[in-house]
Structure 1
Amino acid sequence: MDEDRMAYDPDQDPEEARNLRRQYRHLEQELTENQDLSTEQVAEKLRSANHLFKQVQAVSEATNDSGLLVTISQIGAAKARAMKSGSGAFDVEDFVARLITYMGGRKPVSPADDEDEEDQSEYNESAPLDWERIARRALAKSRRVPAMDFMLGPLSIEPKKRTVAKRAKLEKNKEDMKKPQEITEDDITRSENETTKNVATLERLLAKMDAVNLFKFIVNPNDFGQSVENLFYLSFLIRDGKCALEIEEGTGEPKIMLCEQPTQEDYDDGLLKHQMVMEFDMATWKRAIEVFDIKEPMIPPRPKSEMRIGGKWYG
């Protein structure tokens, strides 16, 4: 064959390339549609593929050739599995195990395994496989130069068995186990009373002043936590319609003031409630103190609240 035909040729005749792909697809279709092909027929398809490969000079056609070889290999493997040996199907693992035994790799070779008395040596676990023994048998069936490197790996290595690690049971000391703390109805009632009291305090403070800046009213410059609580208590007044929130035109400053609580008739006449979510984190708290120059809290600081959960008090 001309050696130049083996080189990659990007300028190969397009019609020749299309014809090659068409023939590859035809071979692929024949192999996939006819599952009952004989071994000789499969070999004939392989020879046809080898003939086509002599004309391959581009990646696309080489890919088709590889796919066809994979299909032929799968068909050959299936036929090998279907081969009969005695009364059962051909077992590859059993065949390999018998080879290892024959070469002295697992147990002593019995007289029935071989006719050569000189090869019937005592079993030695650390001894390597006797490849010359199987080679003498293989030479009678092959005209090729004997080579064993490709067989040395899989036949000389025992398959690893997967071990499942058992987890030790953790024994718990009952003395170290703690019962979850229970929240009683009295604890919930006490918390609700505390909220109602603080909401009423904010309402009384707003009744003494006109429209006031939202942040100047709720921010405690010395306590971020109480500033958050103040906003929480103020939300109840806004929800009930006792306090109004407006954005002042021009400055955009948020102002709050007490207002007349709407009645059901007002809602029937078309008055709508508007709900909003306000983010108030520590960065906003610091920024409000700086922008509105807040020095003292308008809402008197509350003592640190204590909450009793179960039999303990938490501050």
Structure 2
Amino acid sequence: MGVNPLEAEELIRDEDSSDFEFIVYDSWKISGKTAENTFNKTHTFHFLLGSIQGEFPVPKPRSERPRKGPTTEEKKTMPDQLSEMEESHQEATEKEVERILGLLQTYFREDPDTPMSFFDFVVDPHSFPRTVENIFHVSFIIRDGFARIKLDQDRLPIIGK
């Protein structure tokens, strides 16, 4: 019964007899002597010597497969409408960037020394996709140098001239 020292302490507190304390102490002493005989020396790793001294296998050369060229069917998969749609989408993006630039210029004409909070300008609390589009459009304005993003004293982004 007394191999765990925490359990032994609880039992010692519960039992007032000194005989029980001697039994617990004696069992720990016996357990220690048994472990001492078992772990008296460090074992060597002689069983690993054979696997460490072995030769490493030579890697096999990789063979490249001939690549297939695109067939005529694969070339024709791009529809003509897509290029027209890309152009109209690009024009819509340009118009939206110009509209947002106009809003920024109006704001800076009215109060040129006060920067605008980036989050207040781009975040739409009712539409996540609209917020992403706003960030996308503002990135063009920043890239073209019409505005700059800085950090204020609270390390939050602001849009300034």
Which has the larger helix fraction? 2
Task: Compare relative contact order (CA 8 Å, sep 6+) and give the higher one, 1 or 2.
Answer: 2
Look at both structures and tell me which one has the larger radius of gyration over its CA atoms: 1
What TM-score results when the alignment is normalised by the length of structure 1? 0.24
